[in-house]
Structure 1
Amino acid sequence: MTEQQRRPLPHDFHPPVPSFTVVSEDLVEGGPLKSEQVYAEGNRSPHLRWEGAPEGTRSYAVTCFDPDAPTGSGFWHWSVFNIPATVRELPAGAGSGDMAGLPAGAVHVRNDYGTRDFGGAAPPPGDGSHRYVFTVYAVDSEELGPDADASPAVVGFQLRFKTLGRAQLIGEYEAPDAA
């Protein structure tokens, strides 16, 4: 996908909020995703650690979104919320499989694959490089509001009004052309 074709990020439409820091043992800002984060290869959520969230943070939400998906509306790969404010890190694989790395009370909603977990990168072959935006939201309440049957769009709607701060890390992946 060319730079001109790249779509806005999901929070470009939200009110500005302070940023804080998110880092990963598995992702480098602007770098390629590891095979573990690719749907057909590992389908494993990356390690994420954050710090510097604004005062008043009562919980966190984490999402992964591909704004470059050829859908007209992007593609949600991961959406989890109600992560307690005492949690500052999710281990690799927390959003995958049995969710053993997620804290009690965290809620997963269905991704655009239709499953309640992390769904790895899977752009169409030959479609160019896609961005995978991992965002940690600092939330002003312990519970965001929706339940596990909500869509990522409903989660995003609630985050628009309840976010105190935001941190993001973007990885990229390009599926080889199926020649």
Structure 2
Amino acid sequence: MNRIVTGNLGPDPGQEVTQALGLAAFQLLIATLCMTPMQRWTRWGGWIRVRRMLGLFAFFYACLHVLSFLQFILGWHDLWATFTKRPYIIAGSVAFLVLVPLALTSTKGMMRRLGSDWKRLHRLIYVSVVAAWIHFIWQARSDVGEMLIYGVLVAGLLWLRARWIGWNVLIPFVREQRSIK
């Protein structure tokens, strides 16, 4: 991001901007997933209050990433050929499209309207973060070290949730099994 501010973007500034926006969106998605473990470890409820804002920031940066891709790289034409020739774009599209209903239902009014279905819907963030990671790892040409680190972080965060709540929590729209004691 610093290279954008200083104007040192190299020979393909559009590519640099698009990648920086996508990485920022991905990092914000990971930060969003970090809020629940932080709340559990510190017992401070403020982490959860920040979670929605981080998710909306992730969606905002993802929108900017998609728009910059269409403007600087693709040129707003021949979308179908791009999808069929570059499978990493399919994974990125899944990651982005899954975020749309999450952003649209992030208001308190929608939380009330959807009730318990709101939580199950918002489990789609797990699908989005995994698809975003696949998007990044597939497009990497040679240096995949950074994306492997992100992959380990995402896997660790998902493992924590599964360990605390159960593996079903990672699957969107599945009702939690309540044991009667």
- Greater C-alpha Rg: 2
- Is the helix fraction higher in 1 or 2? 2
Q: Shared fold by TM > 0.5?
A: no
TM-score class, shorter-chain normalisation, is under 0.3
- Is the strand fraction higher in 1 or 2? 1
Greater RCO, 1 or 2 (C-alpha within 8 Å, sep 6+): 1
TM-score (norm 1): 0.25
